[in-house]
Chains A and B, each alone.
Chain A
Amino acid sequence: MLEPIKVSLESLNLITLAPMLIAIAGGLIILCIDLIKENLDKSLYVMLTVLVLFTDFISVMGLNVNERGFFDVMLIDGVSIISQLLIVAGSMLFIPLGLTSRRFHEYEYPEFFALFLFMIAGFQFMAASDNLILIFVGIETASLALYTLIALHNRSDSYEAAVKYFTMGALAAAFYAMGSAVIYALTGSVELYQVAEVLSSRLDEAGLMIAVFGSSVLLLSAFAFKLSLFPFHTWAPDVYQGATAPLAGYMSVVPKIAAFVVSIRLFGMYIELGVEWVRIIILVIAVLTMTLANIMALVQEDVKRMLAYSSISHAGFVVAALALDTTDGNTSIFLYYALFMFTNLGAFAMLWISRHKQRRFDDRYDNPYEKFAGLINIMPVGAVIMALFMLSLAGVPPFSVFWGKIYVMQAAVNAGYVWLAIVMGLNSAIAAYYYLKLVVYMFLKEPVKSVDVVYYNLSKPLMAIIGFATVATVTAIFYVQPLISYLYYMISASGY
């Protein structure tokens, strides 16, 4: 019989759990409400979700930097705080997109919102731990919920998307598990701070390099899938196309932030330990990702698919910053995603309001370029706003993504990777083409069909969201400073 373990409640530091608990509790509350009374309107759930997330957000704000909790499983450092803030804020921005004027299948389920909240809790766990087990469970919680959310859209494309995402996710999970096993074999631990310690003492042992590299590669494969890096990106365009626009936009930002946090912890560790090889591999993948995704985006016929490739390319961009493993680099990751979030929110919201239940322009696509032809005449304000988002994505100053872009490039330059900055620059130029293509369609072409309304799905809340995204995109220059200083402070405080 082992001695019972006595643990004081204070040492558990339960507050570190508060944000996730709030999200989970919120999910449960929604389920309970559904049990009590059926057929409530989606707006109730949307607002409840927003409310829960808001509470979540506040509780994250209340966390102290650099605390560990619950037997050191929870890790609340600067990175985890800012990433949780971003995750929650992103979710808060995307979920009101459910308030469309038309009814879509998934929003009829109260479970949709519960799953959504569970998913956020999963992401938060990913971000707030350096224990590979908790990370794994967090990933899977979030992913399983996300697969379901995609499938709930209930049409053949969304099933297809869900199946593809799910299957590849399962393979990635296997890679992740195998990678963790190798790390465990190497160090006898799955907690990264211990792993780093043991690994640094073992690095000079003969014959181990293969295992060190191997573990990094297996984990990299798993996270490359999550971050949609070449050649693990193949799911992304199909899933984005199959999912609804809000979900696709959401997927392009929030899960990636969570995955980036883990990547910073994991690969940052390798690079910190002096395994330059990992850095090189990541850089190669980054360059391939941004370039190939860009080239493929050039030839797309569908805007959403184009945006999918574009967000793959953006991810490649940011992953390069990850490889730098400098404070600047890590700051730039979050800065980039924070700024990218607003623009992408806007862009996908614009696609969402123009969503019609039938495909009126193309048999395959919901948002072919032709749909937006001559939008300046049909919906001038909408066209201008969409163009702003496109320019922002292309990295035209002073819109939000530009600031992220130059910060990433500056980080690359600071770390001595000028060639990387040049590659990024050239890629941005290539990318400008496909963003411009939409602008050209909207502004310079005549409408293809005389279609009554393109903004079929518009509603006041959506207008508000788009307005918010527009303002945030355009006025980025004014809030970049506090953002940078906050992010930089948080990241340097957590030692990355």
Chain B
Amino acid sequence: MYEQIAFYLFSVLTVTLFLITVMSKNVLYAMTSLAAGMVLISGFFFILGADFLGVVQLIVYVGAVMALYSFAMMFFDATRNIKEKSTHPALVFGLGGMSALVLVMMFAAPLYSEKIQAFYPMHPEAGNAQDVGIVLFTKYLIPFEVAAVMLLVAMIAGIILAGKKMDVSFTQDLSVDDEIMKQKDAK
């Protein structure tokens, strides 16, 4: 009962919030509702017993990602209302509705099967964090490390793309080459 109420509450709220994210003309509203929706999603995780995941969701999304977005928003000076040309609403909502319909039908199918054995079963007695830790650092150690590399890549990318060095472009600058030539001549 408690679970049901929570589920429906979270469902309605997330859907509404994400709708706002998607439909709002104001970046601020959109972002705020996105953040709120993400918080609520962590609620789902908690209901589902994925406590650690819920925490990560809160920290990474609501903490890191949203902070990034807000900094970006400030940089872009996008607090005012955004004018967007709307792409054929019929097409957009048709496609959205269609995909919702098909996905819902798909998920309404009897996917769940008793026969399926968990390969990495949970151990409720030990707690979610421990479970996750063990699997993550054994089975999924490699993806974990690769994710680290990925984050490194993202970091480097973020740094160099946003860096000052990008303000001048050698790509279209003919004089750069002349300098090289001069240097070579000097040698």
| Size category, A interface | 35 or more
Residues of the B chain whose Cβ atoms lie less than 8 Å from the Cβ of A105:
166, 169-171
17 A–B pairs (Cβ distance < 8 Å), ordered by A: A2-B123, A73-B143, A103-B180, A111-B156, A111-B160, A122-B149, A144-B157, A152-B166, A182-B111, A185-B111, A187-B116, A205-B110, A207-B109, A207-B110, A210-B106, A211-B106, A214-B102
Tell me which of B110, B154, B160, B171 has the highest count of chain A C-beta atoms within 10 A of its own C-beta: B171
Could you give, for residues 97-134 of chain B, a 1 whenever the CB lies within 8 Å of some chain A CB and a 0 otherwise? 00000110111011111011111000100100011001
User: Does the CB pair A148–B177 fall under 8 Å?
Assistant: no
| Proximity bits, A138-167, B CB within 8 Å = 1, else 0 | 101100110110011111001000000000
* Closest residue on chain B to residue A151 by CB atoms: B161
Q: How many angstroms from the CA of A133 to the CA of B139 in the assembled complex?
A: 11
Q: List A contacts of B149 (CB < 8 A).
A: 24, 118, 121-122, 141
A103 partner, pick from B102, B110, B141, B170, beta carbons under 8 A: B170
Q: Check A70 against B115 for contact (C-beta < 8 Å).
A: no
Residue A481 at the chain B interface, CB threshold 8 Å: no
Distance of A194 Cα from B141 Cα, bound (Å): 19
Task: Assess the B150–A140 pair: CB atoms within 8 A.
Answer: yes
Cα distance A134–B143 in the bound complex, in angstroms:
5
Question: Do the beta carbons of B116 and A109 come within 8 Å of each other?
Answer: no
Q: Does B65 contact A (CB under 8 A)?
A: no
CB-CB under 8 A from B157, the residues of chain A are 115, 144-145, 147-148
Give 7 closest A-B pairs by Cβ, nearest first.
A148-B157, A188-B116, A141-B150, A154-B169, A214-B106, A105-B170, A185-B111
A207 to B113 Cα, complex, angstroms: 12
Residues of A within 8 A of B116 (CB): 187-188, 198
From A3, which residue of chain B is reached at the shortest CB distance? B134
Q: Is B86 an interface residue when CB atoms closer than 8 A count as contact?
A: no
Give the residue name and chain of the B residue nearest to A21 (CB): B145
Interface 0/1 of B141-154, CB less than 8 Å to A: 11100110110111
How far is it, in angstroms, between the C-alpha of A18 and the C-alpha of B178 when the chains are bound? 43
Check: B1 CB closer than 8 A to any chain A CB: no
CA distance in complex: A178, B173 (Å): 45
Q: Check if A208 sits within 8 Å of B171, measured CB to CB.
A: no
Alpha-carbon distance between A191 and B135 when the two chains are bound, in angstroms: 14
B187 lies within 8 A of chain A by Cβ: no
A154 touches B171 (CB 8 A): yes
Q: Does A9 contact B (CB under 8 A)?
A: no
Q: Does B78 touch A at the CB level, under 8 Å?
A: no
Q: Which residues on A sit within 8 Å (CB–CB) of B87?
A: none
Interface residues on B, range: 35 or more
Q: How far is the CA of A214 from the CA of B119 in the complex (A)?
A: 24
| Residue of B with least CB distance to A201 | B115
Q: Are A102 and B177 in contact (CB under 8 A)?
A: yes
Whether A104 and B170, one on each chain, are in contact in the complex, defined by CB atoms closer than 8 angstroms, is: yes
Q: State whether the Cβ of B138 lies closer than 8 Å to any Cβ in chain A.
A: yes
CA distance A97 to B86 in the complex (A): 43
Q: Which residues of B contact A152 (CB under 8 A)?
A: 160-161, 166
Say whether A108 faces chain B, with CB atoms less than 8 Å apart. Answer: yes
Q: Does B174 contact A (CB under 8 A)?
A: yes
Q: Contact at A211–B111, with CB atoms within 8 Å?
A: yes
A8 at the interface (CB under 8 A from B): no
Residue ID in chain A nearest B141 by CB atoms: A70
A144 lies within 8 A of B150 (CB): yes
Residues of A within 8 A of B (CB): 1-2, 5, 7, 17, 24, 31, 70-71, 73-74, 101-105, 108-109, 111, 114-115, 118-119, 121-122, 125, 131, 133-134, 137-138, 140-141, 144-145, 147-148, 151-155, 158, 178, 182, 185-189, 191, 194, 198, 201-202, 205-208, 210-211, 214, 357-358
Complex Cα distance, B149 from A49, in Å, reads 17
Residue of B with least CB distance to A138: B146
Q: Which of B111, B118, B134 lies at the interface centre, i.e. has the most chain A CB atoms within 10 A of its CB?
A: B111
- Known contacts A2-B126, A114-B156, A144-B153, A357 near B146 by CB under 8 Å: no
By beta carbon, the residue of chain A nearest B150 is: A141
In the complex formed, the residue of A with least CB distance to B159 is A111
Contact B153 A104 (CB under 8 A): no
Q: Which residues of B contact A114 (CB under 8 A)?
A: 156
Known: A2-B130, A103-B176, A158-B171. 11 other contacts (CB 8 A): A7-B138, A31-B156, A74-B142, A115-B156, A133-B140, A134-B142, A138-B146, A140-B150, A141-B150, A148-B160, A214-B106
B172 contacts chain A at the CB level, 8 A cutoff:
yes
Q: In the complex where A111-B156, A115-B156 touch, is A210 in contact with B146 (Cβ < 8 A)?
A: no
CB within 8 Å for A205 and B113 given contacts A105-B170, A357-B173: yes
CA distance A421 to B149 in the complex (A): 43
Bound CA span A24–B156, Å:
14
Residue of A nearest to B154 (CB): A144
Known: A118-B149, A131-B143, A154-B171. A210 touches B105 (CB 8 A): yes
Say whether A210 contacts B172, CB under 8 Å: no
Q: Which residues of B contact A140 (CB under 8 A)?
A: 150
Q: Does B165 interact with chain A (Cβ within 8 Å)?
A: yes
Given that A17-B142, A131-B143 are contacting pairs, would A188 and B109 also be in contact in the complex, using a CB cutoff of 8 Å? no
* Bound form: Cα–Cα A153–B166 in Å: 9
In the complex the two chains form, what is the Cα distance from A147 to B161 in whole Å? 11
Instruction: Please pick, from B143, B172, B174, the residue contacting A155 in the complex, using a CB distance under 8 A.
Output: B172
A70: chain B residues at CB < 8 Å are: 141-142
Instruction: Answer whether A118 and B170 are a contact pair too, CB < 8 Å, given A74-B142, A133-B143, A137-B143.
Output: no
Report which of A7, A147, A182, A188 forms a contact with B106, defined as CB distance below 8 A: A182
The reply to whether A357 and B174 contact each other, CB–CB distance below 8 Å, is yes
A42 to chain B, nearest CB (A): 11
Separation of A153 and B170 alpha carbons in the complex (Å): 9
With beta carbons under 8 angstroms apart, the residue of B102, B119, B126, B150 that contacts A137 is: B150
> Please, which residues of chain A bring their CB within 8 A of the CB of B176?
102-103
B172 engages A357 (CB within 8 Å): yes
Query: Are B119 and A194 in contact (CB-based, < 8 A)?
Result: yes
